[in-house]
Amino acid sequence: MVGILFEQVNTFSLELYFKGCNLSQSSFYSLPLKNTEFIDCVLHEVDFSETQLVKSRFDNSDLMNAVFEGTNLEEASFETAVNFQLDPQRNNVNKLKVSLNGLPGLLTEFNLSIV
């Protein structure tokens, strides 16, 4: 399912669940995706700009070059996600769950050297 423009779907009663999917180069721009689960997914270069991902899960998913800009990630789980980068100053990350291994993905914008 590479390159799908999900933002064009009717959002009435929209509920999505993805397991073992390659959604690379897809766009979820500005969709209400509260409680959405991405399990074992490849999400390379996916656009999550302005998306409502409250309480969503990214279990064992690869988010290389995914775009998060103005995204609501309140209480979302990135605990087992890999290769994500998001700016906590440009997204709502209140109560975001990440592992210690995921911290560099939150600090990239600060140009820190983590050793």
What's the length of the chain? 115
- pLDDT, tens digit, 9 for 90 and up, residues 58-115: 999 999 999 999 999 999 999 999 999 999 999 999 999 999 888 777 777 777 666 6
What are 35-62's pLDDT values in tens digits? 999 999 999 999 999 999 999 999 999 9
Predicted local confidence at residue 115, as pLDDT: 67
Q: Looking at domain 1-115, which CATH architecture does it have? A: 3 Solenoid (2.160)
Residue 11 has pLDDT above 90, yes or no: no
The phi and psi torsions of 103 (rounded to 5 degrees) equal -55, -40
Q: Where are the domains of the chain?
A: 1-115
Burial 40-73 (b: 16+ CB within 10 A, else e): ebbbbbbbbbbbbbbbbbbeebbbeebbbeebbb
pLDDT, position 104: 75
Whole-number pLDDT of residue 114:
66
Tell me the per-residue pLDDT of 24-35, one tens digit each, with 9 for 90 and over: 999 999 999 999
